Amino acid sequence: MGLLTKGSPLTWAETIQHIDYIKEHGIKQFINLYHRLKSRHGDQLKWGDEIEYTIIKFDHENKKVRVSCRAEELLNRLQAEEQMNAMLGTANKFLWRPEFGAYMIEGTPGMPYGGLIACFNIVEANMKLRREVVKKLLKKDETCLSISFPSLGVPGFTFPEVPADRNNADAANSIFWPEQAVFLGHPRFKNLTKNIKGRRGSKVAINVPIFKDKNTPNPYVEDLTAFGGPDDTRDAKPDHIYMDHMGFGMGCCCLQVTFQAVNVDEARWLYDQLTPITPILLALSAATPIFRGKLSNVDSRWDIISASVDDRTREERGLEPLKNSKWVIDKSRYDSTDCYIYPCSVGYNDIPLQYDEKIYQQLIDGNIDEPLAKHIAHMFIRDPHQVFRERIEQDDEKSSEHFETIQSSNWMNMRFKPPPPDAPEIGWRVEFRPTEVQLTDFENAAYCCFVVLLTRMIISFRLTYLMPISMVTENMKRAQQKDAVLSQKFLFRKGLAECKSAPENLKGSEKCGPPSQDIEEMSIDEIMNGKKNGFPGLISLIRQFLDSADVDVDTRCTISQYLNFISKRATGEISTLAHWTREFVQSHPAYNHDSDVNDTIVYDLMKKMDAISSGEDHCDKLLGCYRSKTDHAISAAVRKAEEHMIVSSQKRAH
C-alpha cells in the first residue's frame, strides 16, 4: 500500500524544486532513525501477510464480468469496524487498506502473528474469515477474488462503465484506462500516476510478448485505431500486448510477507539470504498469463508492474545521450534489488551501483557503514513523487516521512524496513515481495507460511544462499517465462553452505571467506525437493528444522499439507494458476486459438475461479488433495506452552 499521508500533493513541476531538499532531509531522517534504533535488540519474531483482492461484478445476462469500483465504499464499512474496536478496546481481526485500483482492497491480519510455530495454524483461518467478511458486504452479483483481473483495460472493464479518455491528463492520457478505475479516495494513487508520467516525459509503455497460438497473426500487430491516433500508440510494439497506464501493473494483486528480526543485523542478513529465493517463489506462484484480455507469453505480473511505474527519462533509459539526467539506470524503480546489505555479503555485489556522491558522503559522515550507505544512496537516485505542500518542513529527529516517501516507492523484490519512529512496539523488519497472489486461502497461507518457515530454517541452520546479485536479476527474468517451474533452470548454490559470518546473535560472526563459486543451474524441483547427491532441497531442510522444533499435532499437520502442496507444485504434479488458466482458455469452446480471451471465456473463467476459491468446487489439478487443520485460535494447551516459553526467556534475559 505504501505511505498514505494526508495533504495537498504537489504536481511534478512543483516537486522538482524540492527534490534536493526532500532527499537531503530524507537521508538525515534515516541517519537519525538508524542511530536511535540500531542497538534495539531482542525483538521476537512477528510477521504478517498482505493480500490484495479484486472486487468483481458478474453480468450473467450478457455473460460479461467487470471489476466493481466500490472499494472506497467497502473500505468505509470495513474500516468502521476498526474504529469501533478502538473505542471498545478490542483487538482487530483484520485491517483493510486501499490499493491502486478503485476495485481493489488490501487485507492484513489485525495484529501480526507471533513467533510460536502454532501461529502457522491460524493464518488460513484468518484469511478465510477476511474473505467472508468482505463477501457479506457484496451485492448478489459481486464476488471478491484474490487474483489479477485478466481483462483490465478491455473496453467497458469497469462497473460503473466509464470509457477511457485519452485527452484526460488526470488519467495519464491512457487510451485504455479511465481515471475512475484508480482509487480516488486518497490522492496518492492518482498523484503517483501523474508524476511518474511527468518525470518520464511521456505516458508509460508496457509491451508484453503475445503468446503465439496456431491462429494468432504472424507478426501480431493489433489494430488500435479505435483507441487512439498514431501519437497515442507510438510505443506499441509488434508481437506484443500494448498497455499504457500504471493501473495495468499496480492494478494487479500481490501477496507480501513482512517479518521482524531480532535486531538490525539479523534483518540485514535475512534480507540478503532471502534475495536469491525471490525468483524461485515468483516462478512457483506464477498466476498471471493474461493481460488486457490476451494470452501472453509470460506467466507473471512482475515485468508489467515494473514497466507500469517506470519513471526513467529517455536519457536514463539509455535511449539518448546523457544531457539533463545524471545516469543511465538499468532498472525501473519496481524491480529486483541491485545489492546485498549485510557487510559480509558485499563480495557478491557485482552490479555497478549508481548513486549521488553527495548523498553517499552524507550517509558515511553520518556513520552509516558502507554497504548500507550504498543501498540507501542507490535507492535515493529515485525522485519523490509524493510531496505534500504542508509537509515539506519536518522535524528530522522525529519524522521519517521524507525517507519513507522514497523508500516506499522503491518497489523491490525485498524491502529492508526500519522501525517507524512513532511505534515503539515495532522492530527492524524485512519484507518478501515477489510472490503472486493465489486463488485460494489454502494456497496463500501455504506460501506465506513457507516463506516464514524458510526464515526460521535459515536462522536455525545458519545456511547461506548467496550468489552474485546479477544472477538474481537473471533468475527473475527466467522466473517469469511461461511454465518456468518446468521449463527453466535457475542459478543456485550447489551444496549446503553454512554462513560463518552470520550475525552474532546467530553465533556466527567469524570472518567471511571469498565469495563462493559453488553455483550451478538447477530446476525448481531440485531446489525445492532436492537433488540426488546434491542440494537437499528447501522443503526437506524445513522438514528437518520442524523435526527439531516443538510443534503441536494440528499445526504440524497443517504445515505438512502446505509443504506437500508446494513440493508438488515444484514437480509439476500440481499446476500453477498460470498453467491452469492457460489450459482453461485453450480448451474453452469460445477460444479461437488466436490468443484472444474474449468476454465469454473470461466470464466462465471467473465463475470457475469463484467456485474454486469459495470451496464449492475442488480442483485437484490446481490444489491437489489436502485437508489443513487451520483454526481461528490457538488452543489453551498450546497457549500455555507459549507463556512458559516467554517466562523462561525473560528469566534468561535477567
Could you list the residues that contact ligand ADP (CB under 6 A)?
1, 46-50, 108-109, 112, 256, 258-260, 426-427, 429, 431
Min CB(262)–Mg ion separation in Å: 21
Options 1, 184, 364, 426; binder of Mg ion; rule CB under 5 A: 1
Find all residues with CB under 8 Å of 390, minimum gap 6, and list them: 7, 8
Please report how the helices 370-379 and 357-365 are oriented relative to each other, as an axis angle in degrees rounded to 10. 140
Min CB(109)–ligand ADP separation in Å: 5
Min CB(256)–Mg ion separation in Å: 4
Min CB(423)–ligand ADP separation in Å: 8
Q: Which residues of 141-169 are buried (b: 16+ CB within 10 A; e: fewer)?
A: ebbbbbbbbbbbbbeebbbeebebbbeee
- Which residue number, 240 or 429, has a Cβ lying nearer to Mg ion? 429
**Nine-digit cell string for 60:** 450473467
Q: Computed over its alpha carbons, how large is the radius of gyration of the chain? A: 24
Min CB(1)–ligand ADP separation in Å: 4
Min CB(614)–ligand ADP separation in Å: 23
3-state helix, strand, coil in the chain (%, to 5): 40, 15, 45
State the binding partner of 109 from Mg ion, ligand ADP, none, CB within 5 to 8 A by kind: ligand ADP
Min CB(25)–Mg ion separation in Å: 24
- Which residue number, 43 or 338, has a Cβ lying nearer to ligand ADP? 43
Min CB(420)–ligand ADP separation in Å: 9
User: Contacts for 390-395 with beta carbons within 8 Å, 24 or more apart?
Assistant: 390/7, 390/8, 391/5, 391/7, 392/18, 392/21, 392/22, 394/25, 394/29
State the binding partner of 260 from Mg ion, ligand ADP, none, CB within 5 to 8 A by kind: ligand ADP
- Which residue number, 179 or 431, has a Cβ lying nearer to ligand ADP? 431
- Which residue number, 244 or 441, has a Cβ lying nearer to ligand ADP? 441
Using the rule CB under 5 A, give the single segment among 45-53, 65-73, 483-491, 581-589 that binds Mg ion.
Answer: 45-53
State the binding partner of 426 from Mg ion, ligand ADP, none, CB within 5 to 8 A by kind: ligand ADP
- Which residue number, 1 or 162, has a Cβ lying nearer to Mg ion? 1
Min CB(107)–Mg ion separation in Å: 10
Going by C-alpha positions, the residue among 113, 124, 438, 127 that lies closest to residue 259 is 113
What is the rounded CA–CA span in Å between residue 232 and residue 255?
A: 33
- Which residue number, 44 or 460, has a Cβ lying nearer to ligand ADP? 44
Find all residues with CB under 8 Å of 365, minimum gap 6, and list them: none
Strand-pair category, 411-412 with 334-335: parallel
Strands (DSSP E) contained in 60-191 are: 64-68, 94-98, 104-109, 142-145, 158-159
Helix (H, G, I), strand (E, B) or coil at 255: strand
In angstroms, what CA-CA distances link 438 with 48, 405, 622? 16, 29, 10
Min CB(254)–ligand ADP separation in Å: 10
The phi and psi torsions of 206 (rounded to 5 degrees) equal -115, 120
- Which residue number, 127 or 602, has a Cβ lying nearer to Mg ion? 127
Using the rule CB under 5 A, give the single segment among 44-52, 110-118, 511-519, 554-562 that binds Mg ion.
Answer: 44-52
Residues 338-357 binding Mg ion (CB under 5 A) are: none
**Nine-digit cell string for 504:** 552474532
**Nine-digit cell string for 231:** 501519437
- Which residue number, 146 or 464, has a Cβ lying nearer to ligand ADP? 146
168-54-192-34 Cα dihedral, nearest 10 degrees: 180
Strand-pair category, 429-432 with 255-260: antiparallel
State the binding partner of 49 from Mg ion, ligand ADP, none, CB within 5 to 8 A by kind: ligand ADP
State the binding partner of 628 from ligand ADP, Mg ion, none, CB within 5 to 8 A by kind: none
- Which residue number, 47 or 340, has a Cβ lying nearer to ligand ADP? 47
What is the rounded CA–CA span in Å between residue 592 and residue 583?
A: 13
- Which residue number, 227 or 259, has a Cβ lying nearer to ligand ADP? 259
55 beta partners: 144
Residues 279-298 binding Mg ion (CB under 5 A) are: none
Closest-CB residue for ligand ADP?
48
Residues 121-150 as x/- pattern, contact with Mg ion by CB under 5 A: ------------------------------
Q: Give the number of residues written for the chain.
A: 654
- Which residue number, 47 or 159, has a Cβ lying nearer to ligand ADP? 47
- Which residue number, 180 or 260, has a Cβ lying nearer to ligand ADP? 260
Q: Is 53 left (phi over 0), alpha (psi -120 to 50) or beta?
A: beta
- Which residue number, 423 or 636, has a Cβ lying nearer to ligand ADP? 423
What is the rounded CA–CA span in Å between residue 213 and residue 215?
A: 6
What is the rounded CA–CA span in Å between residue 538 and residue 559?
A: 14
Going by C-alpha positions, the residue among 236, 206, 210 that lies closest to residue 223 is 236
337-341-345-349 Cα dihedral, nearest 10 degrees: 40
Q: HEC string of 510-528?
A: CCCCCCCCCEEEECHHHHH
Min CB(207)–ligand ADP separation in Å: 29
Total residues contacting Mg ion by CB under 5 A comes to: 3
**Nine-digit cell string for 453:** 518457515
Min CB(432)–ligand ADP separation in Å: 10
**Nine-digit cell string for 595:** 490468443
Q: How many CB atoms lie within 10 A of CB 467?
A: 23
What is the rounded CA–CA span in Å between residue 486 and residue 350?
A: 28
Query: Applying CB under 5 A, does 50 fall inside the site for Mg ion?
Result: yes
Helix (H, G, I), strand (E, B) or coil at 257: strand
Min CB(641)–ligand ADP separation in Å: 22
Options 158, 216, 256, 464; binder of Mg ion; rule CB under 5 A: 256
Min CB(67)–Mg ion separation in Å: 20
Min CB(414)–Mg ion separation in Å: 11
- Which residue number, 270 or 585, has a Cβ lying nearer to ligand ADP? 270
Contact 204, 244 (CB under 8 A): yes
- Which residue number, 195 or 409, has a Cβ lying nearer to ligand ADP? 409
Contact 495, 526 (CB under 8 A): no
State the binding partner of 429 from Mg ion, ligand ADP, none, CB within 5 to 8 A by kind: ligand ADP
Residues that bind Mg ion (CB under 5 A): 1, 50, 256
